[in-house]
Chains A and B, each alone.
Chain A
């Protein structure tokens, strides 16, 4: 896959536990009794997507992948045949450490949503002292209503819709992220918002899809667009962001890989 030498700068600060909790929530799984085989498959599929997109993902994702595979293999073996692990207690479910960690992290996520609500409430307060605490939004804050994993889910669905035979035609067309950024901005001039699925429906090659997806991530980072979701785990809505002014003419030279750096300055 060649997304035109383009490296999307969006930092991924979510970790493997976020991905696992996302999958557990999406599939309405019991966190205390995680079905390790399907969750491992799902996890690896997402990991694969992130690697395909060459996102800046943390090495911890790979560590977790091997942890999941280890747990899976230990679950498959009868207890007496499991190789003893260092300092492992007798009769411990191999999933236990992971479950404990997930449950604890979940509690802090809930605490974080309390802070999130407070942050919104304080945005309605104009007291002295409050004014001084105002801060600039994180670029990643644009990804708050829809997580990266939601976007990846949409991307995965889209990839699966591409018929296999079309894969041979890739060589005929060349797509770049820079071109796709231009296309998206042009589309945003006519439509304040549009659906991700509608956008990618006519696309017939993986390369085009990958470039489009990376272009979306880049525009999120540049705060040109915001993404929303009509329902949990539903279609993704791409919206123009008007609050920071009009969409600037950010159409780069076709295929110019320097967009990322020139854009860094903004």
Chain B
């Protein structure tokens, strides 16, 4: 496919990266790979540094071009969880089902689970009590199940009395539902945190707590709404989804690497234990 004289073009390089990437690749991640390749490799007769100079605009154009070519080949280029990914044309799924021996799974999450997830997605980070206020019924078991499925994570603690846990959705949530970002949800502006609060007093306290808390939001590129009340270190990388890890190893020498995420498995386990204890406290309060 490439012009054999001058090596692969940007469309070919980007296409190959997306083909092999284990998780959706963002434009920034693609740029990083292009830069590092220029620093580390020399390929005879290929102007590798030229690709390192490709900006977001050029890469965007290459992605568009690639999208068109993939469509001719039964594939699609979609933006999922903040990155690009090659997918099959959904019209071709019947053949893939035969090949992979996969029956249609239908909906796997129950309605209550989907509703709980929707509330957390729009209101994140939010406490369990907030979700229960909307649904009018206890959601602890449902939230627990969503955490097991890695669709929901603990995103810190609220400053409300009892310091209840705050919950947010994960990168995997975006991947599972094929969403680019939280803002892709319908009516996101309306549902975000201005619905009619059933208990004004509680909500007000919550808003105040949110304002009082200026601790910096960790650079969580995926799904955390920027201006909400995060606090504490628990929110650091408790995402737990390795899918958001950049495909190419990120590193030491790239100064623009603000988004590097650190995962700490043990930390996460601790989180969960604490969550259990806290649960019981909460129950007593209610």
Contact = CB atoms under 8 A, between A and B. Distances in A.
Nearest to B137: A15
A111 B185 contact: yes
Interface in B75-91: 80, 85-88, 90
Given A108-B119, A127-B87, A133-B172, A141 B109 contact: yes
B286 to A, nearest CB: 10
Contacts of A128: 21-22, 85
Interface stretch (A40-48, A95-103, A200-208): A95-103
Given A13-B141, A141-B108, A115 B135 contact: no
Contact of A64 (B85, B104, B136, B243): B136
A129 B175 contact: yes
Contact of B107 (A11, A97, A141): A141
Nearest to A131: B100
Contact of A13 (B137, B175, B177, B179): B137
Interface of A: 11, 13-18, 58, 60, 64, 97, 100-101, 103-105, 107-116, 118-130, 132-138, 140-141, 143-144, 147, 243
Given A127-B88, A135-B149, 5 more contacts: A100-B196, A104-B134, A108-B119, A137-B105, A143-B110
B137 A111 contact: no
Contacts of A58: 137-138
A128 B178 CA distance: 12
Given A108-B134, A138-B113, A119 B107 contact: yes
A141 to B, nearest CB: 5
Contacts of A17: 135-137
B90 to A, nearest CB: 4
B145 interface: yes
Contact of B118 (A111, A130, A135, A138): A111
Given A116-B114, A126-B96, A133 B176 contact: yes
Contact of A60 (B136, B177, B191): B136
Nearest to A145: B107
Interface string B107-130: 111111111011101100000000
Contact of A132 (B86, B108, B185, B243): B243
28 contacts: A13-B139, A14-B112, A18-B112, A58-B137, A101-B134, A107-B187, A108-B134, A109-B115, A112-B115, A115-B177, A119-B108, A121-B90, A122-B177, A123-B105, A125-B90, A125-B178, A126-B87, A126-B102, A127-B87, A129-B85, A135-B176, A137-B106, A137-B108, A138-B145, A140-B112, A144-B111, A147-B111, A243-B103
B118 A112 contact: yes
B24 interface: yes
Contacts of B270: none
A107 B137 contact: no
A111 B186 contact: yes
Which of B137, B149, B186 has its CB near the most chain A CB atoms (within 10 A)?
A: B137
Contact of A118 (B22, B90, B122, B179): B179
B138 A60 contact: yes
Interface string B225-256: 00000000000000000010000000000000
Contacts of B22: 128-129
